[in-house]
Structure 1
Amino acid sequence: MKLKRSIGWFGIMCASLGGIVGSGWLFGSLYAAQMAGPASIIAWLIGGFGTIFLALTFAELSAMFPISGGVAAFPIFTHGKLVGFILTWLTWITYVVSISQEVQSTVLYMGHLFPSLVQKVDNVSVFTSFGFVMCFCTMLFVILLNSFGAKFLANANSLISVWKLIVPFAVVIVFLLTSHNSDNMGLTSTSTQEFAPYGISGILSAVALAGVVYSYCGFQHAALLAGEAKRPQRDIPLALIGSIVICMVLYVGLQYAFIAALPESALANGWSKIAFAGDAGPLAGLAANLGVIWLVTVLYIDAVVSPLGTGVLYVASSARIVQTMSQSGNSPKFFSKIAKSGIPMRAIFLNFVVAMLAFLPFDGWKSIVSFLSAALIFSFAVGPICLVALRKQQPERNRPFKLPFYQLTSFIAFYICNLMIYWSGWTVVWKLSLTVTVGLTVFLLTNFLNRSRIDPEHIATKLDFKCALWLYPYMGVFTILSYFGSFQGGTKDIPLGIDFICMAVFSFVIFYMSQALCLPKAESDRNTASLLAKKKSA
């Protein structure tokens, strides 16, 4: 059964908006302020503009290939099976863990109202047994919502997205009207604060570690749902760019309102140790301190609606990635089946199991978000690389949205990806490197075990090791640069400023290698035609 093209541009943009406005806005303002002070506003601007460059590359790719789960297909078109698997593996892991993250955000937030859900262990809020049961029930509810089909999901998400935008904008207005202390920004002669107390390093670290990048990463839901768009040639570019601009305005406004509303007592020990009653749910706690009780109630309601609305989208998007992996031969064919509702339910239930297991190794919102941000951005690097490769491999293909200055724009997008990962620091990058290594091990083991049972219908049955030769130094050298870098956990042997130059040279070399080692045109055409045929007949 074919995926149903039943979603208009507004529904697609709401999918992207719904993906972006999740738990990030509920927690990001506090953590960004702790890491960068009032200059955290700059962190949100950097994150937003950087994401726009990435979105532009996905706009061309998604309009050219309006297929569901396209992010999993692009590297197979350009570099074959191994690169396709590694990048798709990483994307799938991050999307599935993001489902857990959003469900965790809701249950943890509710723990302040229902103490039986959480308990303190080493000053960290973790789930009780009852809390895990509620996580299971909440996750099951999110899964069931996806079973109603793409059109129902889009219509419901359109309503949820409107709510998710109204509430944070209302918070901005109420905070500014109730308590607007501009001296907190550190820009006036009477201010006792500094605008950038931790310098450029604090701003850049906030981009990577405080939930800024994570908050913007949901833009890709518009691309992943391209297969259900009525007019993908117009809808996808508009939805991607429009959603990011709207959310950038929202996040910058929210950060300013949060900083301006902070009482002096909250800053008594400096920005890194902001503290006030109820700060575990920072916006609700601040609203309570300001005496706006009705807003506290609204925020607790939104703590359910926003994360779960985003979780629903991650369930849908991650299932389509599994479906594409199955169609390309990188996961069992069992998961490629589409239910009568037009939804890949088998893939959704696989993700349900993995998402529940993902609760176990993480013990807090900030710890998991730091990893997810770096992993998502690493997987996004496939966009600019694939765009340039496809211009060379398939120049004759129709491109409804054609990115101007595509080589320069794609390189800038790739460079931005690498900077954002680098700003995460060694403490995150080594985990990312380990995840990629595990993916490579799974790939090699799977192909070894199936070497005598290759399905002739699979796409890219060749392993394409040569086309992946750029990927090994990419991850290896990146890990070394992070170890000697100036950000969290690094030895600081590479000074701030010099590392920008090092990363630019490194990015150029890897970008060039990725283009030199892409598939020949004939193989790229064959992989593309085979996978598109499977999508059409699925």
Structure 2
Amino acid sequence: MSPLQRIKSPDLLVAESGADLEGHGLKRTMGLFQLVCFGVGAIVGTGIFVGLSDSVAEAGPAVVISFVLAAITCIFTAFSFAELGGAIPVSGSSYSFAYATLGERVAFLVGWCLLLEYGVSVSAVAVGWGQYLNELLHSLVGWQLPAALSNPPGDGGVVNIPAVVVIALAALLLVRGIRESARATAVMAVIKIGVLLLFCAIAFTAFRSDNLSPFAEHGMAGVTAGASLAFFSYIGFDAITTAGEEVKNPRKNIPIAIMICIGVVTLLYCLVAVAAIGAMSADDVASKPAALSLIVNQVTDSTLGGGIIAFGAVVAIASVVLAVMYGQTRILMSMSRDGLVPRVFERVSPKTSTPVANTWIVAGVFAVPAAVVPLDVVMNLTTIGTLAVMAVVNIAVIALRRRNPDLPRSFRVPFFPVLPVAGVLFCLYLIYGTGWLTWLQFGAFLILGALVYTLYGRRNSRLGKAADIAPEVTARPEA
């Protein structure tokens, strides 16, 4: 059977995820509030606390438009994720959606790209943790870690030790159990939203409208480049769909949680961007990676306020590492069940109901780039990989409507198929803004993924082996 013909029916995906076969089952323990907190925990982190300066450098005060443009791209795709997540509530997220609609080869490449979105973004998020940890230490005890051991390479650093530490701590919490992880994520999500609202309240007291002029000094090209960078700030909302097997009433709660998260985060980001530039000029914000803490210090004329913001950033970035590592392990678990990656990734501990070996492997692999790779390189690759996955998800929702029109759906994309098509176009537009060097890097990454699939995935596919044993049984569902 051709890899493009190996299409796994949604019913089979759901049945496999719900069956506790060979100790591979997960427990449904997350409610709607925990799921929303998990989504916010996966989104709000390095992108706004550290990456804001990069977006402002490209777009100037018009960075607000960049955030809105990135949000629109997410909203279009969020509708598709909501429909697919409600119809196919499994832990594989985009990978499983592609498997059910576009075939095994495309699904594997989507899973390969998710290594960028979930795995590599863990590295990118962890890289920024050391900078705010130093801000917090300075405000508390007047001491900082040496730049060589706490900054990313290219920014005065040699080996980023805090990045490795935060990944190890997240892995330790994840292997203890999803209930403990969900509670920790909920607490951290509430803390960081509160800290960002506190930042806005303080920064708006020093607001100067002159700082917003000229508004779009770099033109539409700057807004587009800023949107491509700002998009990194939204990465993670689709991690909600990776919790499909551990959520109570997933067909209802997953779509609701996605919409709430996107709405809350977009409003929060726009407020933070306006407050930051209003209190400190765009040029100053662009030149300071830990700009939020510095703004509060400047406005309050003390280090106490900045210390509170730094504490919020330390918590925020840690929660993103936790949530995104969770998503990566669940993607690998789904791929392992299908035979496309080694079986070690699907093994679940009977004691904690978590994939222990999977989690530690992910932590070990992605601690290395977190320690030694410059932040901007990791961010660009993560962004383009995520945008490519989102484009596929928008195509998948169209394909599933055609292939399985009668499949129960708790949510349907409005104005179908206009919004999914618009989602694809917006993703391509932001991919264009990442630049030709990132395109080349991503192209090489895809070629490597295709090679891995040919040499390992295709040969070990359980769906392919089943078709060889019983060729009369098709994997295609009835249209």
TM over 0.5: yes
Count of paired positions: 442
Distance change in 2, residues 1:460/1:446 (3 Å): same
SS at structure 1 position matched to 2:354: coil
CA distance in 1, matches of 2:419, 2:466: 31
2:359 corresponding residue in structure 1: 348
Match of 1:96 in 2: 119
Do residues 218 (structure 1) and 236 (structure 2) align?
Answer: yes
Q: Distance in 1 between matches of 2:334 and 2:399?
A: 20
Cα separation, 2, equivalents of 1:38 and 1:428:
25
Which residue of the other structure, out of 173, 192, 210, is the alignment partner of 1:164?
A: 192
State whether residues 174 and 354 of structure 2, in contact with CA within 8 Å, keep that contact through their aligned partners in structure 1: yes
Q: Deviations over 1:456-491 (max 9, x none)?
A: xx124599xxxxxxxxxxxxxxxxxxxxxxxxxxxx
Q: Does 1:140 align with 2:140?
A: no
Aligned residue in 2 for 1:422:
432
Q: 2:95·2:111 contact (CA, 8 Å) conserved in 1? A: yes
Structure 2 residue 185 is the aligned partner of structure 1 residue 181: no
CA contact 1:19–1:219 (8 Å) conserved in 2: yes
Native 8 Å contact 2:105 2:453 kept in 1? yes
User: 2:180 — aligned with what?
Assistant: 152
Match of 1:468 in 2: none
Pick closer, same or farther for the CA change 1:42–1:447 going to 2, 3 Å.
closer
> Which residue in 2 is equivalent to 1:487?
none
**Counterpart of 1:459?**
463
Separation of aligned partners in 2, 1:38 and 1:235: 37
Tell me what 2:221 maps to. 201
* 2:343 counterpart of 1:333: yes
Distance in 1 (CA, whole Å) between partners of 2:398 and 2:152 is 49
1:443 correspondence with 2:453:
yes
CA contact (8 A) 1:393 1:524 kept: no
Cα distance in structure 2, aligned partners of 1:348 and 1:421: 30
**What is the 5 A alignment of 1:519-538?**
522-525=474-477
CA shift, 1:445, in A, is: 2.1
User: Is 1:259 matched with 2:288?
Assistant: no
Q: Secondary structure at the match of 2:155?
A: strand
Distance 1:357 1:220 in 2: 25
Asked whether 1:383 is paired with 2:383, we answer no
Letter in 2 for 1:155: R
Distance 1:24-1:434 versus aligned 2 partners, 3 A rule:
same
TM-score normalised over the length of structure 1: 0.77
The Cα offsets for residues 489-527 of structure 1, whole Å up to 9 and x where unpaired, read as xxxxxxxxxxxxxxxxxxxxxxxxxxxxxxxx953339x
Q: Distance in 1 between matches of 2:291 and 2:409?
A: 45
Aligned residue for 2:377, secondary structure, equals: helix
Q: What is the CA–CA distance in structure 1 between the aligned matches of 2:391 and 2:448, rounded to whole Å?
A: 19
User: What corresponds to 2:292 in structure 1?
Assistant: 283
Q: Could you tell me which residue of structure 2 aligns to residue 293 of structure 1?
A: 303
Question: Given that residues 64 and 400 in structure 1 are in contact (C-alpha distance below 8 angstroms), is that contact kept between their aligned partners in structure 2?
Answer: yes
Distance of aligned partners of 1:126 and 1:437 in 2 relative to their CA distance in 1, 3 Å threshold: farther
What amino acid is aligned across from residue 346 of structure 1 in structure 2? Answer: A
Question: Which residue number corresponds to residue 302 of structure 1?
Answer: 312
* Structure 1: unaligned runs, 5 residues or longer: 187-193, 464-520, 529-538
Who is 1:250 aligned against?
268
Q: What is the Cα deviation at residue 253 of structure 1?
A: 0.6
Write out per-residue CA displacement over residues 252-311 of structure 1, whole angstroms, 9 at most, x where no aligned residue: 111111111016xxx6xxx49954xxx242111222223142211112212311111000
User: Is structure 2 residue 104 aligned with structure 1 residue 105?
Assistant: no
SS in 1 for 2:94: helix
SS of the residue 2:401 aligns to: helix
Q: Which amino acid aligns with 1:436?
A: L
RMSD: 2.5
- Give, as a single letter, the amino acid of the residue that structure 2 aligns with 1:149: G
1: CA distance, partners of 2:49 / 2:305: 13
**Aligned residue identity for 1:180:** F
Whole-angstrom CA distance in 1 between matches of 2:455 and 2:38 = 36
Give the TM-score of the pair, scaled to structure 2.
Answer: 0.87
CA contact (8 A) 1:81 1:460 kept: no
Percent of aligned positions that are identical: 23
Q: What CA distance in whole angstroms lies between the structure 2 residues aligned with 1:461 and 1:208?
A: 41
State the Cα deviation string for residues 87-142 of structure 1 (Å, max 9, x = none).
1111123311111222211123334542425369999325445x43x433332111
- Structure 2 gaps, min length 5: 1-22, 139-143, 468-472
Structure 2 SS opposite 1:79: coil
- Residue in 1 that maps onto 2:96: 73
